[in-house]
Structure 1
Amino acid sequence: MKAVVYEKYGGPEVLQIKEMDKPEVKSGEVLIKTGGSGINPVDTYFRKGIRQVESFPHIPHFDIAGTVEAAGDNVPFVKEGDRVWATNVPGTGAEYVIAPAESVFPLPEHLTDADGAALAMPLMTAHLSLHYRARLQPDETVLVYGGAGAVGNAAIQLAKACGANVIATAGSKEKADICKEAGADSVILYKEENVVEKVNEITGGKGVHIILDMSLSENLESNLHMIETGGRIVTIGSPQNNTPELPWRLLNQKHASLLGVLLFTAPKEELRRAGEEITTLLEKKKIHSHIGKVFTFEEAAKAHRALENHEYNGSIVLTP
């Protein structure tokens, strides 16, 4: 089978196409014929060696949508011929991929394989952040940083589907329109407006119940000025500085909670619950994918470069 691989750490140029052995399905697993492989920032961290891979040659990516080619024994959720989506599945940058049955969910008929690959990790991360970690309730107010990005856009949609009020930040009017299309009630242009002042203006000085932060080190102190007493800050990412200084006194004064979230280490039962709820919302057309660009497997290096350069709003997907 054809696969995207890299045999050493480095820039996008290390990605190449190789022929690899087609994997064989075992009990509790499904073999998926790949229709789309989603790319996320974490994939570039592994490629660059910031996070280590087990061995070389390594097939990248964790998101997939496609058709079940074969199912092993003890597979209760899907059968051969079903169209599915999944995340947290290593090595989806190949024509055929093995996935644990509990990681696989039905892909509604109205969605393409590219849609399924694009929505997987962003929607799952957003769902875990809002529901498993922050315990979002209807009518609460959520601040979502980077609402035009893949995870931010997913979070806006999921929060609105729960009946929340959503404030999003965006870097341009074009990105603000993307946030509004996803359902944001208010959008703050952070390059032109003071986010803390604007949030306090929008909330009448009460602050927000929940903050989803994609770059914690840059925003932590500001977050604690915007969060209401007893509020929750979900720390989705901190790419600029993984060890930010903690404004402890302000955290205590606000009785605030800092909540970590990581898809790779989430409990299996929470991942299953999130995937099932996401699928139901997709079937009802209450949420949708947010695709930035689709590339072919042969364009993998170009796709990784585009992701790192923030060339597109939304998810980037590879197709065989």
Structure 2
Amino acid sequence: MPTTMRAAVCVRAGGPEVLQIRDLPVPEVRDGWSLVRVHGAGLNRSELRTRQGHSPSVTFPRVLGIECVGVVADSTDPLLPVGTTVAAVMGEMGRQFDGGYAQYALLPNALLMPVTTTLPWEVLAALPETYLTARGSLDALGIAPEGGGRLLIRGGTSSVGLAAAQIATAHGIETAATTRNRGKADALKAAGVDHVLLDDARPLEDAVHALWPEGPDHVLDLVGTSTVLDSLRLVRRGGTVCVAGSLSGWLIPDFEPIAMIPTGTRLTAFHSDTLKGSTGQGLLQRIVDEVEAGVYRPNLDRVFALDDIVAAHRRMEADQATGKTVVLPWADATGG
């Protein structure tokens, strides 16, 4: 076991350049925590916002990363023997304690989800936060397992949007998804989206009602606070809007529920923290099995080495990614 490791440390709030590669001591195992050799970490918008300084509870320096996959390197828990493949999501990773942007991470045992898989690390790393959020959001919307109904996904070319489209399509749900970038329409079609709606031309309401005069039965809003009120107006009366993304921030200014939620319409939310640890293990294993069987095809945008973390964050901040961006802490730098 090495005594030092390489990690991407966010030294202060700011632009991508505040992520610095440093040599740190490998953390020591303690009761209730296990050491994971990190083989892959998916990048998420919440990490970008934390890096920018929008997470008041986070103090710097901090190793970011709210999810990772890897292998147990050291543990005192008999249920987590050395060599076990695990995934971890949320639970204050990369916020109250160091997260996945490192070669090793010391993580609470309660967060770790053992999985059995033959998937490459970059594919496995693209699954936990993205697919657990997508699956959990569709469940929160009340979409029946047997399918049916009409679903609008706002923020469709995000990694969660593409995953949700794949899952919904597999269940026979008629799906529309929005994008502001005409060049990303093919990615939505490849994910199984039936109707691609450009959110930068005529009013979205016109496009949605031309497709579904009464509105969709369900709206999965991954843009978040800037669009949720509009989504409540778009969904059919009695339908459901689920907010599961924060692409536009975390707060709705001057929100008045009685005035702004149409009578009979439901507003809910999904947070992947509810599926951490043993609660999410069975669902994640099912997702992994379905990916291995070809039911879903994870949309990987790009894979970066740890040394290229600044470039990865620049790409994410510029909204250039279509799908999931993954960092492999043990990979050689590409210079990208």
| TM-score bucket (shorter structure) | 0.7 to 0.9
Secondary structure of the equivalent of 1:116? helix
Q: Could you list the per-position Cα deviations for residues 14-47 of structure 1 after superposition, in whole angstroms to 9, with x for gaps in the alignment?
A: 1111222212334554432122122111111211
Cα RMSD of the aligned pairs, angstroms, is 2.5
The answer to whether residue 190 in structure 2 is matched with residue 188 in structure 1 is no
Contact 1:232/1:258 (8 A) holds in 2: yes
The answer to whether residue 136 in structure 2 is matched with residue 136 in structure 1 is no
The aligned counterpart of 1:39 is: 43
Structure 2: distance between partners of 1:7 and 1:211: 38
The answer to whether residue 230 in structure 2 is matched with residue 222 in structure 1 is yes
Secondary structure of the equivalent of 2:157? coil
The aligned counterpart of 1:52 is: 56
Structure 1: distance between partners of 2:250 and 2:112: 31
After TM superposition, give the deviation of residue 241 of structure 1 in Å.
6.8
Q: 1:190 to 1:82 in 2, by over 3 A?
A: same
Structure 1: distance between partners of 2:276 and 2:239: 24
Contact 1:168/1:187 (8 A) holds in 2: yes
Structure 1: distance between partners of 2:268 and 2:302: 31
TM-score, length-normalised on structure 2?
0.83
**Percentage of pairs with the same residue:** 28
Structure 2: distance between partners of 1:250 and 1:49: 30
Secondary structure of the equivalent of 1:198? helix
Gaps of 5+ in 1: none
- Opposite residue 9 of structure 1, the aligned amino acid is A
Structure 1: distance between partners of 2:249 and 2:327: 27
- Which of 116, 123, 135 aligns to 2:124? It is 116
After TM superposition, give the deviation of residue 50 of structure 1 in Å.
0.8
Contact 2:89/2:111 (8 A) holds in 1: no
Alignment of 1:146-225 (within 5 A): 146-203=155-212, 205-225=213-233
Structure 1: distance between partners of 2:285 and 2:130: 15
Contact 1:167/1:185 (8 A) holds in 2: yes
- Opposite residue 80 of structure 1, the aligned amino acid is V
Q: Could you list the per-position Cα deviations for residues 101-129 of structure 1 after superposition, in whole angstroms to 9, with x for gaps in the alignment?
A: 553242631x2211222222121221221
Q: When the two structures are aligned, how many residues end up with a matched partner?
A: 314
After TM superposition, give the deviation of residue 157 of structure 1 in Å.
1.3
After TM superposition, give the deviation of residue 179 of structure 1 in Å.
0.8
Structure 2: distance between partners of 1:23 and 1:243: 39
The aligned counterpart of 2:101 is: 93
TM-score, length-normalised on structure 1?
0.87
Q: 1:49 to 1:218 in 2, by over 3 A?
A: closer
Secondary structure of the equivalent of 1:208? coil
After TM superposition, give the deviation of residue 268 of structure 1 in Å.
5.9
- Which of 20, 25, 42 aligns to 2:29? It is 25
Q: 1:318 to 1:216 in 2, by over 3 A?
A: closer
Structure 2: distance between partners of 1:130 and 1:246: 25
Q: 1:194 to 1:37 in 2, by over 3 A?
A: same
- Opposite residue 89 of structure 2, the aligned amino acid is T
- Which of 13, 17, 22 aligns to 1:13? It is 17
More helix by share: 1
Q: Could you list the per-position Cα deviations for residues 202-258 of structure 1 after superposition, in whole angstroms to 9, with x for gaps in the alignment?
A: 23x2321111112244333432332122211011235257124447446333x1111
- Opposite residue 166 of structure 1, the aligned amino acid is T
Structure 1: distance between partners of 2:229 and 2:105: 43
Q: 1:267 to 1:43 in 2, by over 3 A?
A: closer
After TM superposition, give the deviation of residue 140 of structure 1 in Å.
2.1
The aligned counterpart of 2:320 is: 311
Structure 1: distance between partners of 2:189 and 2:113: 30
The aligned counterpart of 1:252 is: 262
- Which of 241, 245, 261 aligns to 1:237? It is 245
